[in-house]
């Protein structure tokens, strides 16, 4: 029940973010300022993920059992020490970025002498504080999740996401792309404040201490050390991706980012749900040492993720052009050629999401089993594959090669993760095969409908396709739930 509720809340939150995409496309479009914002946000994301995601993976898994292993006072001090330590690291990162924004802009692909570099550096100087805001949101949400509070943090996220859209709409006509920066900072700051109030009310503390105990902080950092290789390689992969897109010329970064923004909706839902709910659940089952139940639980979540993605994959791959034209038809700076490329990328990324689902569950199975080093090695392999495929095929296929590399690398290593976590390979392939067979049926129906219906019914056909695929997905999920 928690799983479905959390997925639905995350889908609602992600759907709200699409409204900001529409506003951005209409008022900013494909332009140098938006390229600069995407590059700046990429730098901030790269630093945040590299600095904190390895320890967050361990923190989410360990915080659940902490109070059983330590006294309440010791557990609270350990949690507080981790949060405080991460705040200090975030502040140090903010200072470094603010001092040398041009260096980071150049690293992500913006030529030091170009207007793009200047704009990117300006966004970085003001936006670096987002590193701290993101870490507080993630850490405090993990603590609340450990108290079985899943819905409240999501409702706060939904509310602040809606306010982000309001702020953006209010500011974009007057200050252009700068509205992306200030609306993001304003809504994120409000989210941090509301999470702090919720944490104070439910736990009696916000887990920030002046008496930092490095030994307790090290309790979460030490097991995460192998993961820094994988997450570091992931950020190198992003840097390579952005450099390749910058080489393609002005607007290429924005075009790819618009396609990714659609894919990021289900991507964020899958990865966040896997980390905050699936991982802790598998960890609890693993502690009980019931091997059969562990395998059933892992496969149940994998099937659920893949079936949830079915309608999205179908719409992205079959109705991508219709979807893109609906969202970008009112933007003068997004040309028909741009829209065609966005829809192409969307179709490829839609299939790539299946690989992400396999990887998301696979990574949590390894973490739950305590196979952190193996997870780190396979995570490193993921990024090496991503970089190699992108570099090898980019010259011939452009941004499409980057999209293919993304899904393929996650899918292959995700399969290996589940295999090494002793999940039967046949069951994994069976779950994927079910999605392919459903997709094939829907392709035939959609193509047959396209032959007989006029072009003006194209959007209506897409809605019908979405409804049918959603119904199929729900039927299979319900059937699997009854079996379990």
- Residue with more model confidence, 55 or 463: 55
- Kindly report which listed range (83-87, 130-134, 301-305, 353-357) carries the lowest average pLDDT score: 301-305
Question: Contact, 40 vs 129, CB < 8 A?
Answer: no
3-class secondary structure per residue, the chain: CHHHHHHHHHHHHHHHHHHHHHHHHHHCCCCHHHHHHHHHHHHHHHHHHHHHHHHHHHHHHHHHHHHHHCCHHHHHHHHHHHHHHHHHHHHHHHHHHHHCHHHHHHHCCCCCCCHHHHHHHHHHHHHCCHHHHHHHHHHHHHHHHHCCCCHHHHHHHHHHHHHHHHHHHHHHHHHCCHHHHHHHHHHHHHHHHHHHHHHHHHHCCCCCCCCCCHHHHHHHHHHHCCHHHHHHHHHHHHHHHHHHHHHCCCCHHHHHHHHHHHHHHHHHHHHHHHHHHHHHHHHHHHHCCCHHHHHHHHHHHHHHHHHHHHHHHHHHHHCHHHHHHHHHCCCCCCCHHHHHHHHHHHHHHHHHHHHHHHHHHHHHHHHHCCCHHHHHHHHHHHHHHHHHHHHHHHHHHCHHHHHHHHHHHHHHHHHHHHHHCCCCHHHHHHHHHHHHHHHHHHHHHHHHHHHHCCHHHHHHHHHHHHHHHHHHHHHHHHHHHHHC
What pLDDT score does 124 carry?
92
Separation between Cα atoms, residue 464 and residue 460, nearest integer Å: 6
Confidence of residue 381 (pLDDT cuts 50, 70, 90): very high
Residue 342's closest CA among 331, 328, 354, 352?
Answer: 328
CB-hemisphere CA count at 13 Å for 281? Answer: 21
Share of the chain above pLDDT 70, in %: 88
Confidence of residue 58 (pLDDT cuts 50, 70, 90): confident
Separation between Cα atoms, residue 449 and residue 122, nearest integer Å: 50
What pLDDT score does 478 carry?
64
> Does residue 85 have a pLDDT over 90?
yes
Confidence of residue 249 (pLDDT cuts 50, 70, 90): low
What pLDDT score does 429 carry?
81
Confidence of residue 454 (pLDDT cuts 50, 70, 90): low
Mean pLDDT of 386-409: 89
Confidence of residue 106 (pLDDT cuts 50, 70, 90): confident
Question: Contact, 45 vs 127, CB < 8 A?
Answer: no
Confidence of residue 484 (pLDDT cuts 50, 70, 90): low
Mean pLDDT of 243-271: 79
What pLDDT score does 455 carry?
55
Confidence of residue 330 (pLDDT cuts 50, 70, 90): low
pTM: 0.75
Question: CB burial class (10 A; 0-12, 13-18, 19+) of residue 89?
Answer: middle
Confidence of residue 196 (pLDDT cuts 50, 70, 90): very high
Highest mean pLDDT of the ranges 183-192, 326-335, 337-346: 183-192
- Which tokens belong to 298? 């892992």
> Does residue 459 have a pLDDT over 70?
no
- Residue with more model confidence, 457 or 45: 45
- Which tokens belong to 206? 């916000």
- Which tokens belong to 90? 């975030």
What pLDDT score does 481 carry?
61
Separation between Cα atoms, residue 318 and residue 189, nearest integer Å: 39
- Kindly report which listed range (249-258, 401-410, 430-439, 447-456) carries the lowest average pLDDT score: 447-456
Q: How many residues does the chain have?
A: 484
Separation between Cα atoms, residue 156 and residue 195, nearest integer Å: 7
Which residues have CB under 8 Å from 104's CB, separation 6+? 43, 97, 121, 124
> Does residue 267 have a pLDDT over 60?
yes
Question: Contact, 234 vs 385, CB < 8 A?
Answer: no
Highest mean pLDDT of the ranges 140-149, 258-267, 372-381, 447-456: 372-381
What pLDDT score does 185 carry?
94
What pLDDT score does 447 carry?
64
Mean pLDDT of 211-230: 84
What pLDDT score does 4 carry?
66
Separation between Cα atoms, residue 67 and residue 76, nearest integer Å: 8
Domain boundaries, the chain: 31-225, 229-484
Mean pLDDT of 435-455: 65
Neighbours of 98 (CB within 10 A): 14
> Does residue 316 have a pLDDT over 60?
yes
> Does residue 182 have a pLDDT over 80?
yes
Confidence of residue 243 (pLDDT cuts 50, 70, 90): confident
What pLDDT score does 125 carry?
92
Separation between Cα atoms, residue 457 and residue 325, nearest integer Å: 14
Separation between Cα atoms, residue 195 and residue 205, nearest integer Å: 11
Which residues have CB under 8 Å from 18's CB, separation 6+? 261, 262, 265, 327
Question: Contact, 219 vs 66, CB < 8 A?
Answer: no
Interval 116-172: pLDDT, tens: 788 888 999 999 999 999 999 999 988 888 777 888 888 999 999 999 999 998 998
Question: CB burial class (10 A; 0-12, 13-18, 19+) of residue 104?
Answer: buried
Axis crossing angle, helix 279-287 with helix 32-69, rounded to the nearest 10? 20
- Which tokens belong to 40? 């700046």
């Amino acid at each position: 029940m928690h799983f479905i509720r959390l997925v639905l809340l995350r889908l609602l939150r992600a759907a709200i973010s699409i409204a900001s995409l529409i506003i951005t496309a209409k008022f900013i479009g494909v332009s140098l300022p938006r390229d600069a914002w995407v590059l700046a946000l990429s730098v901030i994301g790269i630093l945040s993920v590299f600095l904190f995601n390895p320890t967050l993976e361990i923190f989410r898994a360990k915080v659940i059992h902490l109070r059983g292993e330590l006294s309440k006072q010791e557990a609270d001090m350990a949690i507080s020490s981790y949060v405080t330590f991460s705040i200090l690291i975030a502040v140090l990162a903010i200072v470094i970025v603010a001092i040398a924004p041009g260096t980071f802009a150049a690293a992500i692909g913006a030529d030091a002498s170009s207007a793009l570099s200047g704009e990117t550096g300006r966004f970085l100087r003001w936006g670096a504080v987002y590193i701290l805001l993101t870490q507080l949101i993630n850490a405090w949400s993990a603590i609340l999740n450990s108290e079985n509070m899943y819905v409240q943090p999501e409702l706060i996220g939904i509310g602040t996401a809606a306010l982000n859209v309001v702020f953006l709409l209010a500011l974009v006509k007057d200050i252009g792309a700068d509205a992306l920066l200030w609306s993001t900072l304003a809504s994120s700051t409000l989210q941090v404040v509301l999470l702090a109030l919720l944490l104070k009310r439910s736990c009696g503390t916000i887990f920030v201490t002046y008496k930092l105990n490095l030994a307790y902080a090290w309790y979460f950092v030490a097991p995460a050390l192998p993961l820094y290789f994988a997450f570091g390689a992931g950020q190198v992969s992003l840097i390579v991706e952005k450099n390749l897109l910058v080489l393609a010329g002005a607007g290429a970064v924005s075009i790819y980012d618009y396609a990714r923004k659609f894919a990021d909706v289900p991507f964020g839902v899958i990865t966040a749900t896997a980390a905050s709910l699936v991982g802790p659940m598998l960890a609890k089952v693993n502690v009980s040492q019931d091997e059969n139940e562990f395998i059933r639980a892992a496969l149940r979540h994998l099937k659920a993720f893949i079936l949830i993605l079915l309608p999205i994959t179908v719409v992205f791959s079959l109705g991508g052009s219709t979807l893109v034209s609906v969202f970008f038809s009112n933007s003068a700076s997004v040309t028909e050629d741009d829209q065609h490329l966005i829809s192409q990328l969307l179709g490829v990324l839609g299939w790539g999401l299946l690989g992400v689902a396999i990887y998301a569950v696979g990574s949590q199975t390894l973490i739950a089993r305590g196979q952190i080093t193996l997870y780190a090695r396979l995570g490193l392999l993921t990024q090496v594959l991503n970089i190699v495929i992108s570099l090898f095929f980019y010259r011939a296929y452009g941004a499409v090669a980057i999209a293919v590399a993304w899904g393929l690398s996650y899918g292959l290593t995700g399969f290996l993760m589940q295999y090494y976590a002793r999940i039967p390979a046949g069951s994994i392939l069976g779950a994927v095969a079910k999605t392919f067979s459903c997709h094939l049926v829907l392709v035939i129906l959609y193509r047959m409908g396209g032959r007989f219906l006029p072009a003006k019914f194209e959007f209506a056909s897409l809605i019908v396709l979405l409804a049918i695929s959603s119904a199929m997905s729900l039927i299979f999920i319900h059937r699997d739930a009854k079996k379990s």
